[in-house]
Amino acid sequence: MIPRSHSSLQATWQQQLKQSAISASELVERLQLPVEMIGQLEKASSGFPLRVPDNFLQRIQPGNLSDPLLKQVLPDLAELEHFPGFSNDPLDEQHQSTPSGLLHKYPSRVLLVVTGACPVHCRYCFRRHFPYQQQQMGKQGIEKCLKYIEQHPEINEVILSGGDPLSAPDRLLSDISSRLDQIPHLKRLRIHSRFPVMIPDRINDSLLQWIGHSRLKPVMVLHINHANEINQDLTDACERLKRAGVLLLNQTVLLKGVNDSSEQLCQLSETLFNVSVQPYYLHLLDKVAGAGHFEVSQTNAINLMHQLLEKLPGFLVPKLVREVAGVTSKLPIDLNL
Ligand SMILES: *Cc1c(COP(=O)(O)O)cnc(C)c1O
Ligand code: SF4
């Protein structure tokens, strides 16, 4: 397959980012939703603004309020309700002793929060209450993090995260990548991003340049929740990444009304396989305030996993996990409970 070339007539990823729907009226107009919804959408998005790129909107069936892609991005009045056990910082990430922007929870790998900005605002996001929403790490902040990584030889993998790390310009990412390259104990560079899904044109030549030329083995973990998210543009972006030597994995959040059936999860795994992406994690929802209406119980999740194990080859079954504050690893869930 020949990757699509990027003509100068086409909007750059930065322009596409600017053209995202950010108001209730825009979303209603573009998706032919009932105009009466505008008021409630505005109210529901008061705590966490609405944001959806156009490429993702194109994969949503106009007028269909139960579209599994729409549900992920449509503000819902249920976000304002209080659900017991759901809090603003469910993983207690705001109290860490590492330099700000660095999370060192597991001995061998650190998570570097390059920027708090995202191309999309997923309504179930566990970072929806984080104070760093839009800010990007400054030069000084990055220096402190690099120093910390240099001083900790037990770290062999750096994970660029956010927000979405690919919100940052390639100039900055390329600088960080070449600095990490020089730290001898590092082996891998991992990137957690929803950009290939949201704005596939983000996977352009300048990005492939720094990813492909690193000494560190590159891994990208995509975040795809439903097979309908995998369109031709995303398929082409995966192809470009693969050609640059990037190992592609996917994580999914189990979401009520979006992907909580074995049919949907099987179809997702099968479609990921078709585009050479390996299913990695299936996350139980983090209990963040505003996302309670997306919760699938652990019992139902375990039932779904048993069905997946029957229907799919083992290598297409993601690991069911949940994060627990203060515990040093993602907790695999025992399927025999
Ligand atoms: C998820 C996560 C990682 C990576 O964990 P893996 O199990 O290797 O995917 C690293 N650091 C933090 C803080 C995380 O939340
Ligand atoms: S892309 Fe990830 S970090 Fe950004 S809003 Fe969605 S779930 Fe949250």
pLDDT tens digits for range 19-62:
999 999 999 999 999 999 999 999 999 999 999 999 999 999 99
Contact 212, 249 (CB under 8 A): no
Q: Residues lining ligand 1, judged by CB closer than 6 Å?
A: 103, 105-106, 109, 111, 159, 330
What is the average per-residue pLDDT within 247-271?
98
Q: Report whether pLDDT(135) > 80.
A: no
d(CA 218, CA 202): 17
Q: What angle do CA 118, 123, 126 make, to 5 degrees?
A: 75
Predicted confidence at residue 138, as pLDDT, reads: 87
CA of 308 to the centre of ligand 2 (A): 26
Nearest bound ligand to the CA of residue 252: 2
pLDDT at site 96: 58
What amino acid occupies position 280? Y
Predicted confidence band of residue 127 (pLDDT cuts 50, 70, 90): confident
Burial grade of 110 (CB within 10 A; 0-12, 13-18, 19 or more): buried
Contact 238, 276 (CB under 8 A): yes
pLDDT band at residue 13 using 50, 70 and 90 as cut-offs: very high
- 266 is an annotated ligand-binding site residue: no
193-247 pLDDT per residue, tens = 999 999 999 999 999 999 999 999 999 999 999 999 999 999 999 999 999 999 9
Q: Where are the alpha helices (H) located in the chain, listed in sequence order?
A: 13-18, 24-31, 38-44, 54-57, 68-73, 139-150, 170-181, 195-198, 205-212, 232-243, 262-274, 298-311
Structure token pair of residue 172: 């900055």
Other CB atoms within 10 A of residue 335 CB: 12
Nearest CA to ligand 1 atom 6: 330
User: Atom 8 of ligand 1 has which residue's CA nearest to it?
Assistant: 109
User: Tens digit of pLDDT for each residue in 51-97?
Assistant: 999 999 999 999 999 999 999 999 999 999 999 999 887 766 655 56
Go through the chain and tell me how many residues it has. 337
Pocket test for ligand 1, best of 105, 112, 222, 322 (most atoms within 8 A of CB): 105
Is residue 254 scored above 80 in pLDDT? yes
Token match 């999914």: residue? 252
The two three-digit tokens of residue 88, written as one number: 């603003």
Measured CA to CA, the distance from residue 142 to residue 271 in angstroms comes to 37
- Going by C-alpha positions, the residue among 191, 139, 126 that lies closest to residue 165 is 191
Domain limits, the chain:
13-80, 93-332
Q: Which CATH class is domain 93-332?
A: alpha beta
pLDDT higher than 90, residue 130: no
194 close to ligand 2 (CB < 6 Angstrom)? yes
Split at pLDDT 50, 70, 90, the class of 9 is low
CA of 33 to the centre of ligand 2 (A): 24
Tell which one of 52, 113, 120, 251 to mutate to probe ligand 2, the residue whose CB is within 8 A of the most ligand atoms. 120
User: How confident is residue 126, by pLDDT bands cut at 50, 70 and 90?
Assistant: confident
330 C-alpha to ligand 1 centroid (Å): 7
pLDDT in tens, 293-319: 999 999 999 999 999 999 999 999 999
Q: Is the CB of 122 under 6 A from ligand 2?
A: yes
CB 110 within 8 A of CB 159: yes
Distance CA 128, CA 29 (A): 25
Mean pLDDT of 175-204: 98
Give residue 47 CA to ligand 1 midpoint distance, Å: 27
**Which pLDDT value is given to residue 128?**
82
- Class of residue 184 by CB neighbours under 10 A (exposed 0-12, middle 13-18, buried 19+): exposed
pLDDT score of 61: 98
Q: Which residues contact 189 (CB under 8 A, 6 or more apart)?
A: 157, 158, 160, 177, 180, 211, 214, 216, 217, 218, 219
Ligand 2 atom at minimum distance from 127 CA: 8
The mean pLDDT value of the chain amounts to 92
CB-ligand 2 contact for 127 (6 Å cutoff): yes
pLDDT over 70 percentage in the chain: 92
pLDDT-derived band at 323, boundaries 50, 70, 90: confident
pLDDT band at 330 (very low <50, low <70, confident <90, very high): confident
Most confident of 78-87, 124-133, 179-188: 179-188
CA–centroid distance, 284 to ligand 2, in Å, is 15
Which residue's C-alpha comes closest to atom 3 of ligand 2? 163
Distance, in Å, from the CA atom of 327 to the CA atom of 12, rounded to the nearest integer, reads: 41
pLDDT recorded at residue 94 = 55
Mean pLDDT value of segment 244-263: 98
Residue 310 Cα, ligand 2 centroid: separation in angstroms? 31
Q: Which residues contact 268 (CB under 8 A, 6 or more apart)?
A: 224, 225, 226, 227, 252, 259, 279
> What pLDDT sits at residue 98?
84
Q: Give the pLDDT confidence score for residue 266 in this predicted structure.
A: 98
